[in-house]
Structure 1
Amino acid sequence: MDDQAPLLAIALLADRNKRPGALLLRAAGAVPADDAALAALARTAPVFLPAGGDPVDALLQAGCRVLPAEGWLAGDWYMAPPGKPNQRQLASRALALQLAQLVAADADNHEIEALLRRDPALSYHLLRLVNSLGMGLSKKITSFAQAILILGRNQLRRWLNLMLFSSREGDERGPMLMARAASRARLMELLARECGMDKTGQELAFMAGMFSLLGVLFGMPLEEVLAPLRLDPALSAAVLRHEGDAGSLLRIAELAEAADFAALPALLSAMPLRHEDFNASLLQAHAWAMDVVRDEAGAGHG
């Protein structure tokens, strides 16, 4: 696997309202000017290059800009533990954890719907998400039963878990965490496909990316959050111990988020994954995530 393309890394940038609004792109070397995936991402959200370095002409030609001195909040501030919750937030967290448990156990539809009815905010956020333009649906979903019928259980499981990140009342980290979870999960799913994994393996990779951030979301040890969910052993092993192919993909996603260009190549080679395929998957994953958070926010203001 010689003559590999330079690796890319992407970080989320928050706007003045602490919502995902742009992306910060780092490259380990010169990137081809005809990168269609990069140009497509730049049409989805502003893509900036770090200030202070020499701008790469190819990246500028693809639609990137140098990060301005003001206007955007960088860093992983949203990965810090949440503040001490009040009683209402504790009750909401308990319902959210119970919902995650029902979804993980593939519970009966009526059980899930009954729980959603207990917390209108959860129902609101679910319908807001599944009606996002990123879903490509021809008509709006207005009920949980309709969501099941149109989406199917596997897709609904994804959106229910993603919804947990957007429905944390009083937690300003929510929108950024949702974008982080969405991009991580989608990246792992795309990389699983590039590795030749079947649909089951791709779904496992997606869910591993999603579950891996639940500890951050709830401000609890991940083992404690996942214990009552009784996850599939392979999924649990991937999330908690980075075991199996999904665990390796999770490690790759984490290194990509840290822009660790020194450690990434060896892990990619072990899968094996070409740098070009990794870069393309990274760009696609962030385009998808930005679509999700933008459409979710737009639906909330409609």
Structure 2
Amino acid sequence: MTTRTKRSTQKTHAPSGIIAKGGFRRIDPMASTDKRSIYQPFFVARQPIFHERGKIWGYELLFRNTPESDKATIVDGDLATFVVSTCGFIRTQEDSDQTKKVCINFTDSALLMGAPSGLPPAVTVIEVLENTVPSDKLIHALIGYKQEGYLIALDDYEGQSGFKEVLELADIVKVDLLHKSSSELKVICERLAPYRAVKLAEKVDHQAILPELKALGFSLYQGFYFARPEILTGRKINSTQASKFRILKIVEDTSATTETLEKAVCSDPSITYRLLRFLNTAAFGFSIKITSVRHAILLLGQKRIKNWLRMVILSDLIGAKTPELYAMALVRARLLAELCEEQQISIEGADTMFLFGLLSLIEPMLEVSVETLLKHLPLPLELKAGYLEPDSVYHRYLKLLSAMEHADSGQIAALSNELTIDTTSLANASVRAMAWANQMSSAIL
């Protein structure tokens, strides 16, 4: 547990990376922290699914424990689902044809909690697992997903009983070829004859079986003969457990307003970053860029935002520490927003400046170049210039924030004068911003 710094006549001790000086809190971005506690790698396998004509129809995303894994060791099925459908989905949209379908396995509980609704219906295929219990509630949920435009696939069908209602809803049925004889495949296909679902053959490992599969009516294929799974890796910022539980509580509050949701999301830089990247992928097909959390909520609606948040939060709950950069980003964001509200900044609204400050430390948080990150951030060009061009107006605000963090009175005075910011208003806004940030992270710092 880190001890808070308090302004006092007595000598105080600041936490690692935070130095009490001149009444301001200085946070050293390069302070030594255990990066394993700040960053969490994730691994997702992406395997193409082909048309009978040999063209890629889509991909299946599969959870992996390590980049060397050929298959997953899944301890928590829900967690695997949430990692694949949040981080994995974003990652696969970065370097593939975003018009292709994306097949994701969902557990019963994930289906019942509405998890798929956070993903775009135009490209998402909901895979119902072979060990699913087709209860009335589950069937009702699947009907709802079909009405929203999602495709439904039944995974690893072997002709087992009890799946009549799922088969009636299914758009695709996947049949695993491993250890199945020709006669066994024929029986499975005969049982599928009354249903309209497209048949997809899994584990197609050699060319010789293709004529037989086509004769049985298969039209989609997946397996080593066509392509082995490609491991996609990435890294997500660990949010604090306290903020995640706080957001989850708000998500589950039926009386939560747009404003309440907006404040909850904006309290967490990791979730803010991923939400904006997620919604600005081509898969959603929005004709305009989503430039703020409020914009995202209003455009997508509370229901879908809440479903996405549930997935992200449950995916993140693996026990991360709060990095010093997290607290620093919150102070920066709130300070800029406070200055807008005090009419000390008039070039942008409070929402936009909050986002600008919140994401200003995303480069050291992710250890990825800011140029790479900015490709995924839906910020106006002027704000992007603030991160890259030292002579830009917005970069001067970053310099002012840095001067505040280092309690550099000379720089503070010079930059305040240059930006026509009243120093008294700046000091008061700084106090309010730090109080707000402390409140947001009070369970950790």
TM-score, normalised via structure 1 length: 0.55
Alignment correspondent of 1:161: 269
Q: Distance in 1 between matches of 2:328 and 2:240?
A: 22
The structure having more radius of gyration, on CA atoms, is 2
Work out whether 1:276 is the aligned partner of 2:417. no
Q: Which amino acid aligns with 1:249?
A: Y
DSSP 3-state at the match of 1:89:
strand
User: Which piece of structure 1 moves more, 229-238 or 257-266?
Assistant: 229-238
Q: Which amino acid aligns with 1:95?
A: C
Structure 1: runs of 5+ lacking an equivalent: 1-16, 24-46, 49-63, 103-108, 132-139
Q: Distance in 2 between matches of 1:97 and 1:219?
A: 21
Alignment correspondent of 1:213: 361
User: 1:55-70 residue pairs with structure 2 within 5 A?
Assistant: 64-68=8-12
Q: Distance in 1 between matches of 2:329 and 2:432?
A: 14
1:95 to 87, 111, 121: 87
Q: Distance in 1 between matches of 2:342 and 2:38?
A: 44
Change in CA separation of 1:248 and 1:201 when aligned onto 2, cut-off 3 Å: farther
CA deviation string 1:163-189 (max 9, x = no partner)? 4799596764x3422211111111111
Change in CA separation of 1:96 and 1:218 when aligned onto 2, cut-off 3 Å: farther
Work out whether 1:193 is the aligned partner of 2:198. no
Work out whether 1:73 is the aligned partner of 2:78. no
Task: Answer whether contact 1:126 1:159 (CA < 8 A) is retained.
Answer: yes
Q: Give aligned pairs, total.
A: 219
Alignment correspondent of 1:22: 4
Higher relative contact order (CA 8 A, sep 6+): 1
CA deviation string 1:215-262 (max 9, x = no partner)? 111111122222222432233122333566543322211111122222
Flag the structure with higher helix content: 1
User: 1:112-261 residue pairs with structure 2 within 5 A?
Assistant: 113-114=118-119, 127-130=244-247, 140-143=249-252, 149-151=257-259, 154-155=262-263, 157-161=265-269, 163=271, 172=321, 174-197=322-345, 201-241=349-389, 245-261=393-409
DSSP 3-state at the match of 1:141:
helix
Q: Which amino acid aligns with 1:73?
A: S
Q: Percent identity?
A: 17
Task: Answer whether contact 1:187 1:285 (CA < 8 A) is retained.
Answer: yes
Task: Answer whether contact 2:344 2:420 (CA < 8 A) is retained.
Answer: no
Q: Which amino acid aligns with 1:220?
A: V
**Structure 1 residue 146: deviation in Å?**
6.8
Alignment correspondent of 2:131: none
Q: Distance in 2 between matches of 1:208 and 1:217?
A: 15
Q: Which amino acid aligns with 1:241?
A: E
Task: Answer whether contact 2:385 2:392 (CA < 8 A) is retained.
Answer: yes
Change in CA separation of 1:71 and 1:201 when aligned onto 2, cut-off 3 Å: closer
Structure 2: runs of 5+ lacking an equivalent: 19-27, 44-82, 95-113, 121-235, 274-312
Q: Distance in 2 between matches of 1:262 and 1:243?
A: 19
Q: Distance in 2 between matches of 1:95 and 1:87?
A: 13
**Structure 1 residue 209: deviation in Å?**
0.7
Task: Answer whether contact 2:390 2:396 (CA < 8 A) is retained.
Answer: yes
DSSP 3-state at the match of 1:90:
strand
Task: Answer whether contact 2:17 2:324 (CA < 8 A) is retained.
Answer: no
DSSP 3-state at the match of 2:4:
strand
Change in CA separation of 1:193 and 1:177 when aligned onto 2, cut-off 3 Å: same
Task: Answer whether contact 1:79 1:177 (CA < 8 A) is retained.
Answer: no
CA deviation string 1:184-221 (max 9, x = no partner)? 11111112233454695222211111111111111111
Task: Answer whether contact 1:268 1:275 (CA < 8 A) is retained.
Answer: yes
Flag the structure with higher strand content: 2
**Structure 1 residue 273: deviation in Å?**
1.5
